[in-house]
Amino acid sequence: MRLLEERIKKDGIIGEGNVLKVDSFLNHQMDIDLICKLADEFYRLYENNGVNKILTIEASGIGIAAIVAQRFGVPMVFAKKFKTKNLTGDIFTAKVESFTHGTVYDIMVSKKFLSEKDNVLIIDDFLAKGQALLGLTKIVKDSGAKIVGCGIVIEKAFQDGGKKIRDLGIRVESLARIKEMSAETGVVFFD
Ligand code: 5GP
């Protein structure tokens, strides 16, 4: 998506360890007008697939997924990373290795909010090594729901996550695919 690529070139900051910082418009301060346009694009891609639920993972996926859910007119569920008093009863769980922190944590979704009746679109801000998506797809499969596909804002296509998920036969649509980026030069190339 040209608009998003231009914004990444303008405001994205390439950090060490293959991390792209987009916190001025996507996952800390959020440009809601831009995110509404991203949601329109996800809607265009998946509108005929009977999506009745959006699933994401806390924290940075939530804001984006909320706007996507509003566009589809369906509820959004986010997998929680911390067990709170509100999360009672039976839960679906999966283990996820964090790309940004390097730690392994559990993600949880209450069994109340996913079932075999659901057609789920998974939304996330980034796709890197695919661990977050693998965790979410496990939860959807455990629930008996159907995975319609994944909608990713930025896929770092030089990492292997996209291949891993597509090799499972899951549709992945990414609005910007980064082929190469360099912390030294600050240059980003798109697919
Ligand atoms: P994966 O599980 O695919 O390795 O990584 C996806 C998760 O890690 C995303 O939910 C995102 O929060 C975080 N992440 C991965 N790469 C980046 C990056 O380059 N920049 C930022 N800001 N987050 C990233």
pLDDT by 10s per residue, the chain, length 191: 999 999 999 999 999 888 999 999 999 999 999 999 999 999 999 999 999 999 999 999 999 999 999 999 999 999 999 877 777 779 999 999 988 888 999 999 999 999 999 999 999 999 999 999 999 999 999 999 999 999 999 999 999 999 999 999 999 999 999 999 999 999 999 99
Nearest-atom index, ligand 1, CA of 15: 19
- CA 107 / ligand 1 centre spacing (Å): 15
Residues 6 or more apart whose CB falls under 8 angstroms from that of 43 comprise 68, 71, 72
Pick the residue whose CA is nearest to atom 5 on ligand 1.
Answer: 128
Its pTM stands at: 0.96
Query: Which parts of the chain are beta strand (E)?
Result: 13-14, 20-21, 53-57, 76-79, 91-97, 104-110, 119-127, 146-156, 172-181, 188-190
Nearest-atom index, ligand 1, CA of 128: 3
Pick the residue whose CA is nearest to atom 23 on ligand 1.
Answer: 126
Q: What DSSP designation does 112 have?
A: G
